Structure 1
């Protein structure tokens, strides 16, 4: 009922776009989102080639990925906050321009330092796309936000899966520098965004620059700690998070209002979404390693093995949105958890089997992704007041990226240990496959506990609201 009221309120004040205009905007957003997400996964495949080109150590070449993730995560939060004040078409124009400039610089990079600079510029622009892709449905299509969020989520899942395939093909057939060239084409969409997106006025409000600096440094050092496990970074991160907390309670116009986290539905969704995305990205991080080590597949065949899962996620995203519209956000979150648990169980069981078997069973885990992202993003959009949806979605994206970093780092360390005991009694895994089977069994436990937390926390929040209404 609350969701219907919010939609009605939004329709009374929002832009009345024609069906053709909506389709054009959705097509544009999904096109640039595809490039934005692919840009991250393509370069993961190219890291060994870049290392050979510049004679780099693994710790040095890792900055191609780590630097991108840091700026991407911070940028998603910053653009989300700016979206509450500035017109979306202006933010996208700036973001797409930076994305294209970084791509051109990277293609002509004469040395590794310029490659890193190019990746940072790319990330500063590409992060605008993922941030605004979750805001556009709420602002322009309030009556169809669930369906559009489903399309956005399926695009992200598809891009994550297809990125390694395209990256491996281009880096192998041409050169890793041509991966930069692909992203230059986003600049073509800028005139169309300028024409087709609604004209907006700048809203009241200012950005707390000092607060933004505190949270940016805190997040950057936290991600560095996650990826490098140097205790110096976590100390610095805690220090700047403390400064940020002080700032939001003392500033007249804080970067993030502290009462945002007192919203029970928002807080629960952010926490539960963090652990869900952590397990999903942990799975995506682990699958290529497993297929290489256990099945002996090369980069191209790994990409082809995972491709059906990415395609399935792309095709089911629309239905995730439709189901969210029909049943509400929470039942779809539970469905996503169920798909994850079943998918993790099948992977844990069939590790060591033929690649085509893995290709089939991984589909369930992949299609859970659009259901999870659509429902959680939709829940947040209804939980927050209209003037805080931008920063709320920014926080949502920030936590998603940090969850991805956590998932990869934690699972990477777990895989260092040798274990001979199978947790899953149905598993056919042998030798090195046993540890992978056990990790997937662990992901089942984490997902089940997360689902229980999500249910109990939201139930408690509903009871508190009912009690307050009665009083």
Structure 2
């Protein structure tokens, strides 16, 4: 790989790591944000919801925008947006404004993720697979060490530092990207003279609006009912509005020429659909633990942010170490055995969480973290391999987009699950209930993995 290619890869890598870093670093900050802004646990959960909802919408939209305006422009603009949001977020006068800046941050970082892989794929022609694998390490590594970094910097400098930590990465990436990302021309026949109506149809603005409003309405009604302890007429009406809008969204997406979420593809390829459902459940499990454990350690066991970050390293390091081993195993045996082992490990980890008691050694949490970390390493490779096996070659791009959508839906559902189970206060009893629910989800994944393995053996015979 040439020196130019290495610098290009570093330029892009420093930018794309910001999205997973900011999605994970906040997990350690939830208890302190709850105290600073005097919120219950349900309300503070919107710091997670807002980021994932914005990312799930922004990434496919920005991918389309890069075809119109150029990938280099979108990448550099994303860095500027992320810089501004990171600089002013700590100055938020209240929690509502913090959510606004968090959404802006999600949009900015999503602009880089949406086009970063494409920039490397287009401009690095030698050892392309190696380059993409290195970028994957930037993404997974940032997510893995986010809680550790968050714990350390909050301990020494307070919660605003989780936003300021982005600034050196943004500045380095911008300076390197300005120099090393080649200029590219947009698709001029498409971009020139395009009306607002055509641009709206191209990105499916109606679908995006319906998806966002329906999702927010459903989340708000469920969380509000849980937080207040009773179901009011207002909760019911908002929930029904969300359901109706979700139905309208499904109908719209089935008819749209350029749908935001191509639901027709799911209907045409049922095996691919099951892979995405599985991946969504995997992310519900993983991120329920990812966001639940730091709150359990700090609010229930009164562990400091610094110690919480150290303990959470078990999860990230287990995942990072397992991923390359999983790659070699899956190359030889296919994804089915690895995914079955992953589901079993998640089941064992969930059982371990459900059996903890208030006097259990804090270090014992590391066993559950290690089990989930290893399973995550297996899933990172295994689910992607299962997706490619179940997807026809002509729709691999669409399949990858749907795969990321499934990831974001899983993370959103994990936040919803924690909010519903815990309500206004994170408690040990709620944590045990969460462990039991995760165990049931993990058992369903074991069943689904065994079913796929048996069906695969039948096809081979």
Which TM-score band applies after superposition, normalised by the shorter structure? 0.7 to 0.9
Give, in angstroms, the shift of residue 122 of structure 1: 0.5
The separation in 2 between residues aligned to 1:368 and 1:312, in whole angstroms, is: 9
Question: Which residue of the other structure, out of 308, 315, 320, is the alignment partner of 1:314?
Answer: 320
**2:243 paired residue among 227, 238, 247:** 238
- Relative to 1, partners in 2 of residues 1:296 and 1:120: Cα closer, same or farther, differing over 3 Å? closer
Deviation at 1:269, TM superposition (A): 1.1
Q: Which runs of 5+ in 1 are unaligned?
A: 1-17, 417-431, 467-471
Shift of 1:414: 4.0
In the alignment, the residues of structure 2 paired with residue 171 and residue 368 of structure 1 have an alpha-carbon distance, to the nearest angstrom, of 28
Aligned residue among 96, 103, 106 for 1:123 = 106
> Which runs of structure 2 are paired with 1:169-248 in the superposition (5 Å)?
169-185=152-168, 186-193=170-177, 196=180, 202=186, 206-225=202-221, 227-229=223-225, 230-248=235-253
Query: Which stretch has the larger CA shift, 18-27 or 328-337?
Result: 18-27
CA contact (8 A) 1:84 1:391 kept: no
In structure 2, relative to structure 1, the CA distance for the partners of 1:317 and 1:68 (3 Å cut) is same
The answer to whether the aligner puts 1:450 opposite 2:445 as a matched pair is yes
Alpha carbons of structure 1 residues 381 and 226: separation in structure 2 relative to 1, 3 Å: farther
Deviates more, 1:182-191 or 1:46-55: 46-55
Deviation at 1:107, TM superposition (A): 4.0
CA deviation profile, 1:42-98 (whole Å, cap 9, x unmatched): 334435555665666766655444333321232234345556777544433332222
CA-to-aligned-CA distance 1:378-398 (integer Å, 9 cap, x gap): 433564466754554333223
* Structure 2 contact 218–242 (Cα < 8 Å) conserved: yes
Cα distance between partner residues in 1 of 2:264 and 2:3: 39
Residues 334 and 279 (structure 1), Cα distance of their counterparts in 2 relative to 1, 3 Å cut: same
Query: CA separation of 1:85/1:338 partners in 2, compared to 1, >3 Å: closer, same or farther?
Result: farther
Tell which deviates more after alignment, 151-160 or 363-372: 151-160
Q: How much does 1:375 deviate?
A: 2.3
**Aligned 8 A contact 1:151 1:317 in 2:** no
Q: Deviations over 1:304-339 (max 9, x none)?
A: 222222222223333333433443333432332233
Task: Report the equivalent of 2:280.
Answer: 274
Q: In structure 2, what is the equivalent of residue 396 of structure 1?
A: 403
Q: Does the residue aligned with 1:353 lie in a helix, a strand or coil?
A: coil
Do the aligned residues in 1 keep the contact of 2:145 with 2:313 (CA within 8 Å)? yes
**Is 1:288 paired with 2:294?**
yes
Task: Decide which of 339, 347, 359 is 1:333's aligned counterpart.
Answer: 339
Equivalent-residue separation in structure 1 for 2:221 and 2:457 (angstroms): 37
* Contact in 2 for aligned 1:137/1:149 (Cα 8 Å): yes
- Counterparts of residues 81-160 of structure 1 (less than 5 Å): 88-109=71-92, 112=95, 114-131=97-114, 156=139, 158-160=141-143
Q: Distance in 2 between matches of 1:218 and 1:110?
A: 28
Check if 1:305 corresponds to 2:311. yes
Q: Secondary structure at the match of 2:107?
A: helix
In 2, Cα distance between the equivalents of 1:321 and 1:132? 25
In the alignment, the residues of structure 1 paired with residue 70 and residue 418 of structure 2 have an alpha-carbon distance, to the nearest angstrom, of: 40
Q: Does 1:355 align with 2:362?
A: yes
Question: Is 1:365–2:365 an aligned residue pair?
Answer: no
User: How many residues are paired up?
Assistant: 435
Partners of 1:359 and 1:129 in 2: CA distance: 33
Q: TM-score, normalised by structure 2?
A: 0.76
Structure 2 spans left out of the alignment, 5+ residues: 191-201, 226-234
Distance 1:75 1:233, change over 3 A: farther
1: CA distance, partners of 2:128 / 2:446:
24
